[in-house]
Structure 1
Amino acid sequence: MRIVIAGGHGRIALRLERLLAARGDEVAGIVRRAEQADDLREAGAEPVVLDLESATVDEVAARLRGADAAVFAAGAGPGSGAARKETVDKAAAVLFADAAVRAGVRRFVVVSAMNADPRHAGDEVFDVYLRAKGEADAYVRSREALDWTILRPGLLTDDAGTGLVRLEAHTGRGPVPRDDVAAVLAELVDTPATAGLTLELISGSAPVSVAVKAVAGN
């Protein structure tokens, strides 16, 4: 498979790139800065330098053409203000979805956030973030040309992954290592039967492959 990841230098994305490359997939990661390219090459991914805050749909579609799947793992980051929640967490996700449709890439996986909701109230930066992620998710769901899956992890940690998770429509709050989020994403990309599902993810007791097969109905 050829898989293109938006936000290719993120902490989840770099882990995902290593997993996909190790299993023999062809991986490309979209990054904003050329100096991030070596980190992607080290992870086994092809770096694609493109700023999703200023790129056009056609420019992004050109990078997606020929891919079997697209993963949106970009984010403005915890230190960013409300404006970039709108331009990255929402607008870049919308752009990436539109570009996938234009490029004919049906399989589309989104890294969202637990409690993301377009109707989320409040004016703090985190409120804007949850609203932006919710609006982006709603837009992706509206694109009938996409076989989308939306993953909403709990509290992200840098603890070593255990390979044991709880993956359900509603899990409730809880932590989950980024290692395990990446492992679940790798399984989801390869499991089209999860299309149309919005899933929450926290640490649990089920091996990753078992958890994904369970939600896919296999």
Structure 2
Amino acid sequence: MNVVIAGGHGQIALRLARLLAARGDTVLSLIRNPDHAGDVRAAGAGPVVCDLEQAGLDEVAAEVTGAEAIVFAAGAGPGSGAGRKDSVDRAASVLVADAAERAGVRRLLQVSAMGAGEPPRAGTDEVWAAYVRAKGAAEEDLRARDLDWLILRPGRLTDDPGTGRVRLAEPPIGRGEVTRDDVAAVIVALLDAPGARHRTLDLINGGTPIADAVAVL
């Protein structure tokens, strides 16, 4: 499979690249900072410097042309303000979806966040509220498109070793944690399941083997 990962230096993205490359898939990872190219290569992916906050549609479409699937795993990250939550978590997602349509890439998996699409709770930190709103708007944009889209909403992320067992279903499934290893493994399984599309899925660790959790979709 030929996969493009937007936000290729993220913690989930690097894990995903390792899994895909280890089984022989071709992976291109779009990154903002050229200094991150070495980490991407070490994960088995080809780094492509493409700042999604600055790039135009033609540039991004050219980079994803020929892909069989795109994974949007970009995010403004810790320490960023409300403005960058919008410019990365929403606007960059819209740009990548536009590029997918321009390039004829039908399969697009968006890594979102549990709670996206819900009004921020009273008293929520301004930056977190902006993040939730941005993710929700990105989801709404993707659902309106004629693409084979999937939206994956992980729970609270941890760096614990993967368990291989999850709870994966349409929301709500309740709050919980999920390892980044397991998120990456679920993405691989979803990419391998062409019948899994047009679904919004919450993900936390649970008792079901990943293959079985994806199969029931």
- TM-score above 0.5, yes or no: yes
Counterpart position of 1:211: 213
Q: Distance in 2 between matches of 1:9 and 1:190?
A: 22
4+ residue segments displaced more than 6 Å: none
Counterpart position of 1:92: 92
* CA shift digits 1:108-146 (9 cap, x unpaired): 0000000101754767110110000000000011111x1
Q: Give TM-score scaled by structure 1 length.
A: 0.96
Return the offset for 1:189. Answer: 1.3
Return the offset for 1:191. Answer: 1.1
Residue 42, structure 1, aligned to residue 42, structure 2: yes
Counterpart position of 2:145: 143
Contact 1:165 1:205 in 2 (8 A): yes
Q: Distance in 1 between matches of 2:181 and 2:12?
A: 7
Counterpart position of 1:172: 174
Contact 1:115 1:130 in 2 (8 A): yes
Q: What 5-or-longer segments of structure 1 have no aligned partner?
A: none
* CA shift digits 1:30-59 (9 cap, x unpaired): 000111011111110000001000101110
* CA shift digits 1:127-176 (9 cap, x unpaired): 110000000000011111x1000000000000000000000112210000
* Other structure's SS at 1:99 match: helix
* Other structure's SS at 1:76 match: coil
Q: 2:189 aligns with which of 184, 187, 200?
A: 187
Q: RMSD in angstroms over aligned alpha carbons?
A: 1.1
* Other structure's SS at 1:194 match: coil
Q: Distance in 2 between matches of 1:158 and 1:123?
A: 24
Q: Distance in 2 between matches of 1:102 and 1:33?
A: 25
Q: Distance in 2 between matches of 1:162 and 1:188?
A: 17
| Superposed counterparts of 1:97-136, under 5 Å | 97-117=97-117, 119-120=119-120, 124-136=126-138
Q: Distance in 2 between matches of 1:119 and 1:201?
A: 20
Q: What 5-or-longer segments of structure 2 have no aligned partner?
A: none
Aligned length: 214
Structure 2 residue identity aligned to 1:173: R
Counterpart position of 2:162: 161
* CA shift digits 1:169-203 (9 cap, x unpaired): 12210000000000000111121211100000000
Q: 2:200 aligns with which of 198, 201, 204?
A: 198
